[in-house]
Amino acid sequence: MLLWIHSMPRKIIIVDRIKSDQAFQVRAAFWLTPPASPRPMGPPTASIVTTLLPGEQGAINNGTVVERVFTSGFFAEGTAESAVQASLVSKYNEFQAAIDAELEGHASIGASWNGTTWS
């Protein structure tokens, strides 16, 4: 019997925990989805994620994933992991909304008018 396991694409990857006295910060990679057809956001760059799964660097290079690095504010030592995760999800959603707004105006780049219709 074959068991097919479909994993969801990763969106938030915690890459570092930075300790400071009685507190810590978390550094994460946010893998955002561009709202329009995929296009590279610049020259290919290496991801800060060192545990890339097959195809993930290619997705960053071809623009189907936009990587943004985020360092959190300070959390007190002993902060519940669920609170840290909820904070990261909230910040991820802010970043996604910002990239949606940023790219919205670029959706028509490359469109042309032939005197009758747009294509």
- Please indicate, yes or no, if residue 65 is contained in any of the structural domains: yes
- Please indicate, yes or no, if residue 4 is contained in any of the structural domains: no
- Please indicate, yes or no, if residue 2 is contained in any of the structural domains: no
Question: What is the gyration radius of the CA atoms in the chain, in angstroms?
Answer: 18
Per-run averaged pLDDT (10 residues), the chain, 119 residues: 56 94 95 74 78 87 88 96 95 91 63 67
Nearest CA to 88 out of 15, 16, 26 is that of 26
- Please indicate, yes or no, if residue 66 is contained in any of the structural domains: yes
pTM of the model: 0.75
Nearest CA to 103 out of 28, 27, 30, 42 is that of 42
Number of domains comprising the chain: 1
Q: From the CB of residue 18, how many other CB atoms can be counted at a distance below 10 Å?
A: 12
Nearest CA to 50 out of 84, 16, 6 is that of 16
Domain containing residue 87: 12-39+54-104
pLDDT at position 59, please?
A: 87
- Please indicate, yes or no, if residue 22 is contained in any of the structural domains: yes
pLDDT at position 4, please?
A: 44
- Please indicate, yes or no, if residue 1 is contained in any of the structural domains: no
- Please indicate, yes or no, if residue 119 is contained in any of the structural domains: no
- Please indicate, yes or no, if residue 30 is contained in any of the structural domains: yes
